[in-house]
Chains A and B, each alone.
Chain A
């Protein structure tokens, strides 16, 4: 390896590591904060690595009235959102990937436009409606609105996923004795499954992270972000740090699982068709 290549490599890795540092350090800090004993937060200067690790802060956070409940609520809402979103959106994604039909382009554009809607614009009137429909302050209500927000993504992502499964495979199955539905179930679905799982996790994360709608739509049945947001002004700092940590961890985990699909999904999302 000659000197120039070596120097180039050094710069590459230096730059890459620097960026990695920038991404990771705040996450590390949050983790540290979450396991720092409560009283350490009042030390000055605060030791960056806590003098001893303790579950104090976490315990306090989880034992705070409403938090554990909101955690469960968040999981439920995210699961419902996931089911609703894929149930409604995946067929549309399939249609977009498989058929050329009149209005296809208009539909695609419509989907893209919906992504321009500010959450506030949806959440406020829907909340007003939900009060009338008896869906106010229910988990289903939150899931419904989260579905609305995740649906455009789901359609775009599943379109990409089904485009990745060759149409000829399904046709082959059809010539071998399958009905259209059978061909889908036996060939397209198994092959799309990993991608669909990634889409599902992505949907889960969207719901898990959403705070605006969840907050204005609930009073008793808060989700975790809603709970933390509404308690911000009245909670001690360590409560907030623990909250941050709790919200981040599952999301990071999911991102790790779907990492290989991210680019595929966005590649499909930005690719033509």
Chain B
């Protein structure tokens, strides 16, 4: 029942605002794809274009190979879970879930059976006679999901379905959505601006910015090999650290110079950084790939502690290297004071390099 979704040069404008800019995207059949990006980048609009709730200005939308660009939402074989849940307040939970089936003139017995089925799947069977006003936020959310999947849609669209839940419930529902997707296997497009959600749920993540997709990759790739400075700076808590570095050719390979500090690049970089080996680059490295030493020393990048935040399992340090500010994680027991000078060692294999002009990752 899972279908492929294909967007071809889809463009949506609201007056002067270009919400979706000539977007190309293929969501594979059965895939769980997450649209991730900052507020206002066009995630919801993209989703609504797939749903048919917005008419695209240009481009085409295909679902299961069928051109649905001109079709109303009802005839696209989609189901959608809204951010506000949009559970009908004047209908009981059972009526809510049955609504779509009723619209399709499904036989009564089958409706009852399927409603019961999904209700059990989502553990809301005992709520079927209640009205939405008598439900908690989490329960309403389940109703919204049940109402969508009872349709056995070819495509399931979800717009920040967890954003209105409290942190604990969100964690629980996240796992549940993952289980649900494994069980029903519907092609799912899931919008969120929460990267943890994206990393945990997505088969692939499409990172969006200003109406465009800047990277479409598996969660590990997006995390470990961000394609642009933007992605690197957006994903991860804390996001990737950036240092201004000078590329240098040396005998036997390439090196980087950060202020007075020199660093040898692994041989894998050989020949991948182009002709010009004497230029400024942006070095990106994640907090967990930086080792902190309480003392500066030989072969350590000197840094100054600005803030130290104990976070229970770790200690988050904000440190200054030259003009750059870095976030690094250490052992909570490491005794450091603001203003203290410390040393950092970077794991060379985990270094990413970016071109400062194009902001694109190198190699």
Contacts and interface: CB of A to CB of B under 8 A. Distances in A.
A161 to B, nearest CB: 15
Contacts of B90: 187, 190-191
B104 interface: yes
Say which size band chain B's interface belongs to.
Answer: 20 to 34
Contacts of A172: 80, 82, 86, 88, 147
B146 to A, nearest CB: 12
Interface of B: 51-53, 72-74, 78-80, 82-84, 86, 88-90, 99-100, 103-104, 147-148, 151, 157
Contacts of B89: 169, 191
Interface string A164-195: 00101101111111111010000100110000
Contacts of A173: 88, 99
A166 B87 CA distance: 10
Nearest to A172: B86
Contacts, number: 59
Say which size band chain A's interface belongs to.
Answer: 10 to 19
A176 B151 contact: yes
Contacts of B157: 175
Specify the main secondary structure of chain A where it touches its partner. Answer: helix
A91 to B, nearest CB: 20
B63 to A, nearest CB: 13
B82 A182 contact: no
B210 to A, nearest CB: 21
A225 B95 CA distance: 48
Given A168-B82, A182-B103, A174 B74 contact: yes
Contacts of A169: 86, 88-89
B6 to A, nearest CB: 19
Nearest to A177: B103
B135 to A, nearest CB: 16
A176 B82 contact: no
14 contacts: A166-B84, A166-B86, A168-B82, A171-B73, A171-B82, A173-B99, A174-B72, A175-B74, A175-B148, A175-B157, A177-B74, A179-B72, A179-B74, A190-B90
A248 to B, nearest CB: 35
